[in-house]
């Protein structure tokens, strides 16, 4: 007998007739046959350390209305996990493309998933990955949830519908994760929409646990959620060039260097003149650099003109060069005129070299006059004939140049860059959220993982550092995904020795790592 379907049918009938007695009697009967461990009772300010996966059947609506799979719930429970997040596209459960009308058939498929969670002892978190007026996917929504009243009313209506539909199911079993990864949204606009949605949900079901993703694709906590009694979800996709290496939906990811972990990473490469005081920052290189060494720089973008200097650790200027962009393109590949700003922009790969006559404990690169220049690569060739140490830099105004470390005698050869390991992850991705938690906010990691093209050994080392940090912080997590390119089943990696497991290809090493945390 399909117990989950029976429960769904009884709930629908009870909601129609307003008679909860049959459902209560069935719940007692059903619980007698359920062997799942009891789930922890959550609080918005202190979320349980749930551990599990995202299930993607309704993540993107392509015209089909795929049901969730009971066997996923069975296997997730069997393997020792107790959480699933269900990212959903609202277009998959509305009627005839009208976001004001609901289609009962796909909603019953969601009912099944909720009941399978109860059957197998798994907390289910419903998420609108695409809500009326908001998505990170393509195509974008025709209206803007954060500014458009019609989109906001539709979204409120959707969550109120789910609240009515699942009224009375304990929050130990079910939560609502309102929106996926809002970005480019003012914090107060986000909070305004959340307040309205939460009010609608709690008018239908006062006890329902509500969760919200952080701003800026889930990376930034929002302190205003705490008085709303709303928990928050963060992300585990840092560093992005490791987690999304050669991901076919990320433009240019096929040109990234093959990830390693721990990694030696670059920093922001845009150096800006003192004329823009709040943006002007030098780039520091710390470490003993021998006499006779050569610093090699590759300039990739120049705005009008910039005077670039290099100074040693004692502050003595050892090199200076003025770069210009104009109608005579000179060494640049491309020069364009921006009439709005009345300036020239040059692009290309212009190599600049500095020969160091004396040893130094570091170098400082800065633009001292003009506008700005972006460096795409730095390299140091040791005077003793060792291999060149080099690092790529990010062409971004948003990333302030950090201090790079140079080690001529690093294991494996000379090293130039920033060491990214567990401590770096803790500082970048955990520390801001621990500060939020210390103020009374509940936190978990709603998505994380590395795409199948990231080398398996790299993925495992990076994943263990993430998991150790989250265990230390007391946070739960949900891998993206269970089956598929980020998951432990049928991931399609070419460098894994798979094990046949109940009709699937199991990545045993990854599974055992997850089970340890």
pLDDT, tens digit, 9 for 90 and up, residues 58-78: 999 999 999 999 999 999 999
* Crossing angle between the packed helical segments 104-120 and 70-78, to the nearest 10 degrees: 20
Residue 30: pLDDT band by 50, 70, 90 thresholds?
very low
Residue 33: its pLDDT value, please? 42
Residue 412: its pLDDT value, please? 78
- How many structural domains is the chain composed of? 3
The enclosing domain of 171 has a CATH number of: 3.20.20.80
Task: Give the rounded distance of the alpha carbon of 388 from its chain centre.
Answer: 33
Query: Torsion angle, CA of 376/454/416/411, rounded to 10 degrees?
Result: -160
Do residues 14 and 84 share a domain? no
Query: Any idea what DSSP says for residue 42?
Result: P
3-state helix, strand, coil in the chain (%, to 5): 30, 30, 40
pLDDT of 151 > 90? The answer is yes
Strand 174-179 versus strand 209-213 pairing type: parallel
Do residues 211 and 316 share a domain? no
**pLDDT tens sequence across 327-383:** 888 899 999 998 887 889 999 999 999 999 999 999 999 999 999 999 999 999 997
228 burial class (0-12, 13-18, 19+ CB within 10 angstroms)? middle
Residue 31: its pLDDT value, please? 40
Residue 78: its pLDDT value, please? 98
Do residues 388 and 493 share a domain? no
Residue 413: pLDDT band by 50, 70, 90 thresholds?
confident
Do residues 325 and 237 share a domain? no
pLDDT of 4 > 80? The answer is no
Do residues 340 and 359 share a domain? yes
Residue 35: its pLDDT value, please? 53
Query: Does the residue 257 lie in any domain?
Result: no
Residue 396: pLDDT band by 50, 70, 90 thresholds?
confident
> pTM, whole model, 2 decimals?
0.81
Closest CA relative to residue 360, chosen from 388, 380, 374: 380
Query: Does the residue 254 lie in any domain?
Result: no
Do residues 373 and 304 share a domain? yes
224 burial class (0-12, 13-18, 19+ CB within 10 angstroms)? middle
Residue 484: its pLDDT value, please? 98
Between CA 255 and CA 86 the distance in angstroms is 32
Residue 36: its pLDDT value, please? 64
pLDDT of 23 > 50? The answer is no
The Cα-based distances of 371 to 50, 69, 277, 322, 515 in angstroms read: 50, 58, 11, 11, 53
Domain extent, residue 343, equals 263-418
Do residues 213 and 71 share a domain? yes
pLDDT of 7 > 50? The answer is no
């Amino acid at each position: 007998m399909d117990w989950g379907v029976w429960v769904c049918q009884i709930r629908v009938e009870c909601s129609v007739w307003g008679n909860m007695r049959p459902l209560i009697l069935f719940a007692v009967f059903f619980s007698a046959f359920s062997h799942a461990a009891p789930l922890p009772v959550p609080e918005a300010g202190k979320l349980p350390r749930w551990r599990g996966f995202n299930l993607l059947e309704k993540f993107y609506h392509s015209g089909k209305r795929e049901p969730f799979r009971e066997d996923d719930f069975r296997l997730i429970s069997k393997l020792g996990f107790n959480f699933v997040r269900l990212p959903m596209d609202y277009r998959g459960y509305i009627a005839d493309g009208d976001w004001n009308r609901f289609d009962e058939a796909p909603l019953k498929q969601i009912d099944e998933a909720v009941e399978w969670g109860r059957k197998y002892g798994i907390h289910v978190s419903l998420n609108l990955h695409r809500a009326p007026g908001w998505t990170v996917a393509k195509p974008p929504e025709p209206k803007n949830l954060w500014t458009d009243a019609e989109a906001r009313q539709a979204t409120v209506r959707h969550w109120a519908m789910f609240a009515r539909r699942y009224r009375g199911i304990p929050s130990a079993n079910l939560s609502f994760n309102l929106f996926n990864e809002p970005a480019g949204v003012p914090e107060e606009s986000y909070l305004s929409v959340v307040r309205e949605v939460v009010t609608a949900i709690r008018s239908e079901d006062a006890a329902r646990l509500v969760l919200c993703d952080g701003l800026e694709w889930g990376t930034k906590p929002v302190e205003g959620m705490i008085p709303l009694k709303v928990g928050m979800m963060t992300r585990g996709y840092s560093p992005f060039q490791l987690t999304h290496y050669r991901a076919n939906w990320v433009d240019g990811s096929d040109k990234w260097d093959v990830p390693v972990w721990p990694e030696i990473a670059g920093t922001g490469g845009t150096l800006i003149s003192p004329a823009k005081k709040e943006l002007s920052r030098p780039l520091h290189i710390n470490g003993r650099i021998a006499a006779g060494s050569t610093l090699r720089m590759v300039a990739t973008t120049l705005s009008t003109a910039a005077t670039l200097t290099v100074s040693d650790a004692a502050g003595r200027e050892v090199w200076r060069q003025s770069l210009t962009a104009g109608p005579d393109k000179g060494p640049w590949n491309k020069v364009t005129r921006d009439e709005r700003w009345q300036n020239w922009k040059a692009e290309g790969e212009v190599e600049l070299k500095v020969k160091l006559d004396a040893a130094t404990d570091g170098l400082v690169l800065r633009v001292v006059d003009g506008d700005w220049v972006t460096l795409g690569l730095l390299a140091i060739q040791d005077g003793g004939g060792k291999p060149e140490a080099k690092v790529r830099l990010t062409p971004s105004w948003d990333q302030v140049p950090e201090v790079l470390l140079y080690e001529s005698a690093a294991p494996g050869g000379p090293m130039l860059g920033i060491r990214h390991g567990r401590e770096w992850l803790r500082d970048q991705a955990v520390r801001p959220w621990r500060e939020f938690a210390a103020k009374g906010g509940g936190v978990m990691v709603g998505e994380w993982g590395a795409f199948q093209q990231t080398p398996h050994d790299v993925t495992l080392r990076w994943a263990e550092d993430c998991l150790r940090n989250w265990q230390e912080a007391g946070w739960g997590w949900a891998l993206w995904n269970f089956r598929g390119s980020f998951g432990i089943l049928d991931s399609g990696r070419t460098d894994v020795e798979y094990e046949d497991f109940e009709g699937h290809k199991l990545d045993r090493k990854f599974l055992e790592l997850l089970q340890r945390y």
